């Protein structure tokens, strides 16, 4: 059974989320301020954190940054009334896995929670499959419909980043840090160049553009 921490200071919303999660078989606990949320999330007792951005004391983004700085890899779904792209980008850069804008329906939240729990429990497999693409990390080989595709080592790493984060919006900065290393200083538009190259080699639908935010693995259909 997955354990979920809900950091939300508005009791009405918190109680609605806690009740819904419990009704769906999760163990759900509550934190009403940022410092409690950080303390609890660092305990290692939770599988996922639902994090409101506007929290008393330490705000949600600061909780998230502190968790990632401490190398706590817990998946984080942000709840925010501020769904403008700048806030979303800030959240993604701080290490959020997903977002949900208030007001929301419980089933939307549940869908995000299920996806994030599933993705984070995927083993680090050496062979990844996506549509017609087979990615063999051990042999460093990519097959499309069974035929080998020549990728540069950087294209290969960008593709691997997408395949290991299915369903997740990846900002250009996240892609840079995964595929080039944290200290890479070039402008993030280099990511666009690699996305174009991958689309050309593997089909336009392999990577989807999420306007204002970045990219995500597409639906795999090449038609």
Nearest by Cα to 66 from 82, 51, 79, 81: 51
Query: Is there a contact between 149 and 143 (Cβ–Cβ < 8 Å)?
Result: yes
Residue number, 8 or 155, with CB nearest to Ca ion: 8
Please say whether the beta carbons of 75 and 97 come within 8 A: yes
Q: Which is nearer to Ca ion, 38 or 217 (CB)?
A: 38
Tell me if 220 contacts Ca ion by CB under 5 A.
no
Question: Please, which of residues 34-53 interact with Ca ion by CB under 5 A?
Answer: 52
Contacting range for Ca ion; rule: CB under 5 A; set: 3-11, 98-106, 162-170, 184-192: 3-11
Contact at 8 Å (CB) between 7 and 31?
yes
Of 2, 16, 33, 54, the one binding Ca ion (CB under 5 A) is 54
- Of 26-34, 54-62, 82-90, 138-146, which part binds Ca ion (CB under 5 A)? 54-62
Cβ atoms within 10 A of the Cβ of 25, count? 8
**At residue 76, what are phi and psi to the nearest 5 degrees?**
-125, 125
Q: Residue 159 Cβ, how far from Ca ion at the closest point, in Å? A: 38
Q: Measured from the CB of residue 154, what is the shortest distance to Ca ion in angstroms?
A: 41
Q: Shortest Cβ contact with Ca ion: which residue?
A: 54
Q: Is 30 exposed, middle or buried (0-12, 13-18, 19+ CB in 10 A)?
A: middle
**List of residues contacting Ca ion (CB under 5 A):** 9, 52, 54
């Amino acid at each position: 059974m997955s354990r979920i921490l809900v950091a939300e200071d508005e009791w009405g919303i918190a109680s609605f989320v806690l009740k819904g999660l419990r009704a769906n078989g999760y163990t759900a606990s509550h934190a009403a301020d940022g410092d409690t949320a950080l303390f609890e999330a660092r305990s290692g007792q939770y599988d996922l954190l639902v994090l409101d951005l506007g929290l008393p004391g330490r705000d949600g983004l600061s909780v998230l940054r502190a968790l990632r700085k401490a190398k706590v890899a817990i998946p984080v779904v942000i709840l925010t009334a501020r769904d403008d792209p700048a806030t979303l980008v800030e959240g993604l850069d701080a290490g959020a896995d997903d977002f949900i804008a208030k007001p929301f329906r419980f089933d939307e939240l549940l869908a995000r929670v299920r996806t994030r729990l599933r993705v984070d429990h995927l083993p680090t497999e050496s062979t990844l499959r996506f549509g017609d693409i087979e990615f063999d990390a051990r042999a460093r080989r990519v097959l499309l419909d069974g035929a080998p595709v020549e990728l540069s080592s950087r294209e290969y790493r960008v593709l691997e980043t997408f395949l290991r984060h299915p369903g997740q919006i990846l900002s250009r900065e996240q892609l840079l840090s995964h595929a080039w290393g944290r200290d890479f200083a070039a402008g993030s538009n280099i990511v666009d160049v690699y996305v174009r190259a991958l689309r050309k080699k593997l089909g336009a639908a392999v990577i989807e553009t999420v306007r204002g935010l970045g990219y995500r693995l597409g639906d795999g259909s090449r038609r």
